[in-house]
Amino acid sequence: MSSKVLILNGPNLNMLGTREPEIYGAETLADIEQACQKTAKSLDLDVDFRQSNTEGELVDWIQQAGTEGFAGIIINAGAYTHTSVALLDALLACDLPVIEVHLSNIFQREEFRHHSFISKAAQGVICGFGGNGYKLSLEGMAGLLQASK
């Protein structure tokens, strides 16, 4: 049976394609989801890909991930990365492997983006590879899940 991976996207990521394309690229979130579904298939993973602009909804999804049968979480928390103790606490409590992903290289940008609250809960962090970072995250997650079998 293939493992289920939850991919969560935070605020403003629904605007990809038109949002600051010089930073985030021309791909839409739907393009990224399509690429994730393709990569997941090749890795024998099932992906559920979600986006919310609401912090509480992301917290709810993380809380429910275990009972919904997910084996791991990949998260691009958008700006909540830099502000949200609530997301950190939910990720610490969920007892699943977590990979943090960002399209841009957050360390090359404004100083307030250099700190991530959620990194403390993440097994690995991938940033700066644009939409391809999601593919790399899925490959990383497949490795983690394989190693834990």
Contacts with ligand DQA by CB under 6 A lie at 12, 76, 78-79, 81, 102-104, 106, 113
CB 17 within 8 A of CB 28: yes
Minimum CB distance to ligand DQA smaller for 31 or for 46: 31
The CB density around residue 79, as the number of other CB atoms within 10 Å, is 14
CB of 91 to ligand DQA, least distance (A): 15
Minimum CB distance to ligand DQA smaller for 4 or for 82: 82
Task: Give residue for tokens 């579904």.
Answer: 37
Selected catalytic residue, list 82, 102, 114, 115? 102
CB of 111 to ligand DQA, least distance (A): 11
Calpha distance 122→118 (Å, rounded): 7
| Residue 24 annotated among the catalytic residues of the structure | yes
Task: Give residue for tokens 């790399």.
Answer: 136
| Residue 134 annotated among the catalytic residues of the structure | no
Calpha distance 142→26 (Å, rounded): 27
The pair of structure tokens assigned to 86 is 């609530």
CB of 113 to ligand DQA, least distance (A): 4
The pair of structure tokens assigned to 68 is 């919904």
Minimum CB distance to ligand DQA smaller for 42 or for 107: 107
Q: Which residue numbers are catalytic?
A: 24, 102
